[in-house]
Amino acid sequence: MHPNAAWEFAKDILHTHFQGVTQPMFFGHELTPEDHTTRRGKPRPSILATIDLLKKLGGKTIVEIGCMRQPLTHELDEFNPVCCNDGHSTAFWAMTGLAVHSVDIDPACCQVAAETCGACPNVSIYCADGIEFLRQFSGVIDLLYLDAWDAIEGIPYAEKHLEAFQVARPKLARRSLILIDDTDVAFGGKGRQAIPAIIRDGYDLLFVGRQTLLLRLD
């Protein structure tokens, strides 16, 4: 495989969604509400780029750890930095029409996701621990979205996201994508331990910022 193959595969789609977007990095946990709302990057461009790349790859199955917990009070193509900081990810995956399996440990979040995606027969919501869910999952994963344990001091978020990747690893399609949220905080945040392990598994890094996207082609 040519060393630039992943970039060649992805670059036009990334240019489309990231034009004019700059994403600051925050190295601690102590972000102010103002930082969260107005300074941080938002998941939207990376989610849209990931969907286009997944379609280009011919992927069929999305597995998400960490359902949307913020009710969607507007159209999906509208953007409001106050409301869209988490990302509404489940709603975006739902609109692809692909098979979406989304799990959350909190029944209230599962309810938000289930109500939002109620009209989408391609979406299944599970109320369970993400790692246990991945252990039981018997399908092939084309896109793994890791966005569960919050990047807050005292929570083993880096370890848990690494563990989630390790459990999902044998179920990932050879050609697949892994997207991780909150990698712009706390020295890599949710991806601090997972990203190096994912790269060692043959994935190329496509971008780093609020979210990190990795692609394996061969």
Ligand X SMILES: C[S@@+](CC[C@H](N)C(=O)[O-])C[C@H]1O[C@@H](n2cnc3c(N)ncnc32)[C@H](O)[C@@H]1O
Task: Tell me the three-class secondary structure of 36-96, residue by residue.
Answer: HHHHCCCCHHHHHHHHHHHHHHCCCEEEEECCCCCCCCCCCCCCCCCCCCCCCHHHHHHCC
**The binder of ligand X chosen from 61, 89, 96, 212 (CB under 6 A):** 89
84 binds ligand X (CB under 6 A): no
Side chain identity, residue 165: F
Question: Between 6 and 114, whose beta carbon lies closer to ligand X?
Answer: 114
The answer to whether 158 touches 197, Cβ cutoff 8 Å, is no
109 binds ligand X (CB under 6 A): yes
Residues 41-80, interacting with ligand X (CB under 6 A): 65-70
Q: Please report how close the Cβ of residue 26 comes to ligand X at its closest, in angstroms.
A: 16
Q: Please report how close the Cβ of residue 86 comes to ligand X at its closest, in angstroms.
A: 3
> What values do phi and psi take at 141, rounded to 5?
-100, 125
Q: Which residues pair with 126 in a beta bridge?
A: 103
Residues 138-197, interacting with ligand X (CB under 6 A): 147-150
Q: Please report how close the Cβ of residue 185 comes to ligand X at its closest, in angstroms.
A: 12
Residues of this chain that bind ligand X (CB under 6 A): 65-70, 86-89, 103-106, 109, 129-130, 147-150
